[in-house]
Structure 1
Amino acid sequence: MNIELFITGMIIGLITSAPIGPVNVLAIRRAVHYGFLPGFIAGFGAVLADGVFATAAAFGVTAISEFVERHEFYIQTIGGLLLIIFGVVVFRSHPHLKGGSDGGPTVWRGMIVSFAMTVTNPGAILGFIAIFGSLGEHAPEKGDYIGALALVLGVLSGALLWWACLSALVSKLRNRMNDNWLSAINHGAGVVLLVFAAIILAKVGYELFC
């Protein structure tokens, strides 16, 4: 297995899972009310959906690697700009812990709800395509399906790590959680996305002018 691609996938899995949206709020609510396992299982539904999107994006990029390589400048530029937009939106969002429904105490119901939320979100697949397409030389080469698999497994591992840590933290601090915590997480995730975008665009600019 390509360890570099696996680690890259883990980083992608973490930064795509961290922004606080409906699924994160759902998982946090369930962890607050019912403990670690219901919160983690709710996040696992999002992991399954992310796995579908990551597989489509990773193997798609691998299959059309010649096209990606030929248009690398434009793909990386567009990908970097999209990440800037995602980062700003995430940074400026103000999620709320109170209100809405978490689907009740049934453990698996949370997973079904979060899977449905994620798989019906077109921004999720566009995000993976933008990130994977922006990897350039760090993306799996044409026909390197083992590398693509390592990238996908890394994404899944990073996402699982996020949901496990989030659910564990919330279940430990359930009496102290408030909307300020959610905003702080989004600020951090937004900054990471913006830094990632800046690195991509800086690389594009360097290759253009040097």
Structure 2
Amino acid sequence: MSLTTALAGVVFGIALAAPPGPMNAIIAEESVVRGFPAGVRAGFGAMTADVVFFVLALAGAVAVIDQYPAVRPFLYLVGGVLMLYFAVGAAREATSAASFTGENADASRGFRKTFAISFTNPYQIGFWLTVGVGLLESGTLDVFSHVPAVGASLEDVLVVQTGSPALLAGFFGGIAIWIVVYPAALVAAGRRVDAFAPVVAAGSAAVLAGFGLLFLGAGTAGFI
């Protein structure tokens, strides 16, 4: 049972970490422009934010955000501004990175970017207010029902016990697997395709700009 629960946690962690979004855009950019260690550090920044949210959820502090409706629109605005700022940086790299370089200048850059966006991401906070709290409480969790886009069709396929150390270890283990395997795959492709770095940087800029505008719109609507 513990092994099954741990494996379910791994699947859950990967399923949540893998979908396209601002975090994976930054991880991709850092990986192909600065190399594998930079990509892993960027992923670790997002994972560290999840660990912090996990500790705050365990202490009951995350729930305080739900008591103040004005906090969410403010976070959307801050997160949107950050994403647009990072999108400009990614666009500049798209024009200056002629190929895969593996440049490791400013080693903590990617970590800071993903950590900052994670900490102002209402979706990530919302996860720890809902599903995250459910991971901590004794009971059951329908794992696949929370997978984006296909969750409705996978309900009741895999139900595991929550509040288990095995589930939590597997969950963070799944995220760790993704933030190592994803940069490794990108770096391998970047070394084989010389034009891969600027293309990924341009794609990262587009994703960050899109999410930035989406967040700014949601934040503005929240204050109207």
TM-score category of the 2 structures, normalised to the smaller one: 0.5 to 0.7
Q: Partners in 2 of 1:161 and 1:74 — Cα distance?
A: 38
* Equivalent residues of 1:53, 1:125 under 8 A apart: yes
C-alpha RMSD of matched pairs (Å): 4.3
* TM-superposition CA deviations, 1:44-93 (whole Å, max 9, x none): 2333444333312332244313312222x223212211221123223333
* Equivalent residues of 1:80, 1:198 under 8 A apart: yes
Q: Given the alignment of the two structures, is residue 163 of structure 1 paired with residue 175 of structure 2, yes or no?
A: no
Q: Partners in 1 of 2:70 and 2:13 — Cα distance?
A: 22
Identity %, equivalent residues: 9
Identify the residue that residue 140 of structure 1 maps to in structure 2.
Answer: 132
> Cα–Cα, structure 1 residues 84 and 142, in superposed 2: closer, same or farther, change >3 Å?
same
Structure 1 residue 4: Cα displacement: 6.2
> Cα–Cα, structure 1 residues 143 and 28, in superposed 2: closer, same or farther, change >3 Å?
closer
TM-score using structure 2 length: 0.56
Alignment of 1:34-113 (within 5 A): 39-63=35-59, 64-71=61-68, 73-93=69-89, 94-95=92-93, 96-97=96-97
TM-score using structure 1 length: 0.59
Identify the residue that residue 129 of structure 1 maps to in structure 2.
Answer: 119
Structure 1 residue 173: Cα displacement: 0.8
Identify the residue that residue 32 of structure 2 maps to in structure 1.
Answer: 28
Q: Partners in 1 of 2:170 and 2:70 — Cα distance?
A: 26
Q: Partners in 1 of 2:192 and 2:110 — Cα distance?
A: 26
Equivalent AA in structure 1 for residue 115 of structure 2: I
Structure 1 residue 193: Cα displacement: 4.6
Identify the residue that residue 152 of structure 2 maps to in structure 1.
Answer: none
Gaps of 5+ in 2: 1-7, 137-162
Identify the residue that residue 187 of structure 1 maps to in structure 2.
Answer: 206
Q: State the aligned residue count.
A: 180
* Equivalent residues of 2:18, 2:24 under 8 A apart: no
